[in-house]
Amino acid sequence: MPSKAQFNADPDKQVVMHTEDMEWEATSVPGVSQKLLERVVDTEKGRETALLRLDPGTTLETEVLAERLDLFVVEGDYADGMGEYGRRTFVRHQPGTAHTPSTRNGCVLYVKRRNPIREKDDPILIDTETVEWTAFPHRGADVVHFYRDPHGIETARYGKVYPDKRLPSHDHAMGEETLVVDGELKDEFGVYGPGTWFRFPIGLAHAPYTEDKPCFMLIREGDLVW
C-alpha cells in the first residue's frame, strides 16, 4: 500500500462516518476528489476505503494495480478500458490488472483497495439492476451476493431491507462494514442515512430496523480480520 497516514485503522473500534456531512477533498489527480473512510498501512493487511468522485469527462492515466481493487458504482457511469458500468454495479479487479478509469457524465464510486487475502481471486462483475435477487422473507430482505468465501474469511452482499422491519439482535463473528446507499437504517447506536458508512468490530451486537422506507446497503464481513 502507499506510504500514507493511517486513518480509522483500529479494527477493535466502532466507526461511523456520515459522508453526506463531509466535504469532498481534492486529490493530486485532476478531476478526482474523495471522502476517505479508512486506511490501514501494513505490508500484508494494508487497505484503503473511500468514496471517490470523478468529474464529467474525466479520464485517468492507465494504472497497473498493485492491490486488489473492489468498487461499487453509487452514482453515474464509469468505465475502465475493460467495460462500462452503470449505477449499482460491483466490480473486482486483481493485482496486475491494467485499467484506465473514465466517466462521461461523472460518477461516485465506493472503492476499496487492499492487499489480497488469497493468492488469487476471480474477477467479479455484477450489475444489481439486472441480476436476480435472492429473497430472505424471514429476515425481511432481498439480497444479491457479490462473493462468499467457502473458508469463511470474507463475504459481501448488496441488500434491500423492507420497510417496517426489525431484525433480531445479532453480531458479526468476522466483523461488519456497511455503506447505506438509499433509505435509512436505525439501531440502538444511531441513525444511518444515505451515504453513511459504519464499521462494527468483531462481536459487537446490534438490533437494526427500518421504518417507513426500504434501506439499500452494501455489507461486507470478514474483511476486518487483519
Higher pLDDT, 80 or 224: 80
Dist CA 174 CA 170 (whole Å): 12
Contact between 55 and 105 under an 8 Å Cβ cutoff? The reply is no
Q: What's the mean pLDDT in 80-99?
A: 96
Domain that holds residue 189: 131-221
Q: Which of 71, 97, 126 represents a domain boundary (last residue)?
A: 126
Beta-bridge mates of residue 102: 59, 79
pTM: 0.94
pLDDT single digits (tens) 7-21: 999 988 999 999 999
Q: What's the mean pLDDT in 88-115?
A: 96
Instruction: Check whether residue 36 and residue 69 sit in a common domain.
Output: yes
Q: What is the CATH number of the domain that holds 109?
A: 2.60.120.10
Q: Which of 93, 126, 159 represents a domain boundary (last residue)?
A: 126
Burial of 180 from C-beta contacts in 10 A (0-12 / 13-18 / 19+): buried
Other CB atoms within 10 A of residue 170 CB: 11
Whether residue 29 lies inside any domain: the answer is: yes
Q: What is the pLDDT of residue 1?
A: 43
Whether residue 11 lies inside any domain: the answer is: no
Give alpha helix (H) positions in the chain.
none
Q: Considering its fold, how many domains does the chain have in total? A: 2
The rounded mean pLDDT for the chain is 92
Instruction: Check whether residue 27 and residue 90 sit in a common domain.
Output: yes
Q: Which of 126, 161, 189 represents a domain boundary (last residue)?
A: 126
pLDDT band, residue 127 (cuts 50/70/90): very high
Contact between 9 and 38 under an 8 Å Cβ cutoff? The reply is yes
Higher pLDDT, 61 or 116: 61
Whether residue 214 lies inside any domain: the answer is: yes
Instruction: Check whether residue 198 and residue 144 sit in a common domain.
Output: yes
Q: What's the mean pLDDT in 86-112?
A: 97
Instruction: Check whether residue 106 and residue 35 sit in a common domain.
Output: yes
Of 24-33, 164-173, 217-226, give the lowest mean pLDDT range: 217-226
Q: What is the pLDDT of residue 2?
A: 46
